DNA sequence: TGAACAAATGTCGAATCTGACATATCGTGA
DNA sequence: TCACGATATGTCAGATTCGACATTTGTTCA
């Protein structure tokens, strides 16, 4: 992983490996982050395609605008549970979610 | 959803809809549970295929035997985050996970 | 410019999930 | 039957994530 990408992730708050590990993420850590970011992008893309604001999505899923912003921004303190719950409520079906994950 | 299936889920601790909602889960609630159960089964299947015990898996992923049992048993108080982290550490790749989700 | 709306960021107490541990139950070979 | 290894269940304090709210940072348009 290039240092530039690493820095982008660390700036976002991702805990990239143990302290002192300057050589990169383990394969699984990297895959987990990629998966989460893929779902984040899917939330943003789905919302924009439907013409809704973050506040409207928040109301639809029973959450708040700030949390939707964190979801879309790839905040590490957002769970897969919340991302999946959100996508399903926005009408994205399991098949589409699975494809995104497989391709991430 | 047949009452028998509902009861099975409720016995496992799933909060199946609001109190007084006897007509079934919303599509999204149902999909979310199906997704989680699909990953639960995948953890169990992967472990068994590799011939490991739950305690060995627990040690490999930095958790405990009881939590692995809960994962495999489909305990609702197990997060997608933990299930996905576990599958990746067991060597299941994103593509395989995505396929399971798409087919769930 | 500056109002007005959308999105991003930071914080907080409450709710949820965690690993760990104790214990119970199951399966199976002696 | 009994012992023993594997799995299931229950509980708890600590960690993580939650929705909510306040505030800041764009962006657009009159």
pLDDT of residue A14: 82
**Nucleotides on strand C lying under 7 Å from protein C-beta:** 5-11, 16-22
C-alpha pair distances (Å), A83 with each of B14, B18, B19, B80? 19, 21, 25, 10
CA B8, C1' C8: Å apart? 43
pLDDT of residue B49: 98
pTM: 0.92
> Which sign does the torsion angle of CA B81, B72, B62, A22 carry?
negative
Instruction: Please report residues of B whose CB lies closer than 8 A to that of A35.
Output: 84, 94, 97
Portion 53-72 of B in contact with A at CB < 8 A: none
Q: Which residues, given as ranges, of chain B have pLDDT below 70? A: 1-4, 10-11, 17-24
Contact: B85, A34; criterion CB under 8 Å: no
pLDDT of residue B19: 47
pLDDT of residue B20: 47
The two tokens of residue B92 are 């299941």
B39-64 b/e (C-beta count within 10 Å ≥ 16 → b): bbebbbebbeeeebebeebbeebebe
Distance CA A67, CA A100 (A): 22
Contact: A100, B98; criterion CB under 8 Å: yes
pLDDT of residue A7: 72
Q: Show pLDDT as tens, one digit a residue, over chain A (104 residues).
A: 666 677 776 667 787 655 445 556 889 999 999 999 999 999 999 999 999 999 999 999 999 999 999 999 999 999 999 999 999 999 999 999 999 999 99
Backbone angle region of B2, left / alpha / beta, with phi > 0 → left and psi within -120 to 50 → alpha: beta
pLDDT exceeding 70 applies to what percent of chain B? Answer: 86
pLDDT of residue B14: 81
Q: Element (H or E) spanning A45, and its range?
A: helix A27-50
């Amino acid at each position: 992983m290039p240092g530039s990408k690493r820095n982008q992730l660390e700036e976002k708050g991702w805990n990239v490996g143990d302290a002192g590990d300057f050589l990169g993420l383990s394969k699984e850590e990297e895959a987990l982050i990629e998966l989460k970011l893929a779902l984040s992008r899917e939330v943003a893309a789905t919302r924009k395609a439907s013409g809704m604001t973050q506040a409207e999505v928040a109301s639809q899923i029973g959450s708040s605008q700030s949390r939707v912003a964190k979801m879309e921004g790839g905040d590490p303190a957002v769970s897969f549970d919340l991302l999946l719950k959100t996508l399903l409520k926005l009408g994205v079906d399991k098949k589409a979610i699975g494809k995104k994950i497989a391709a991430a």
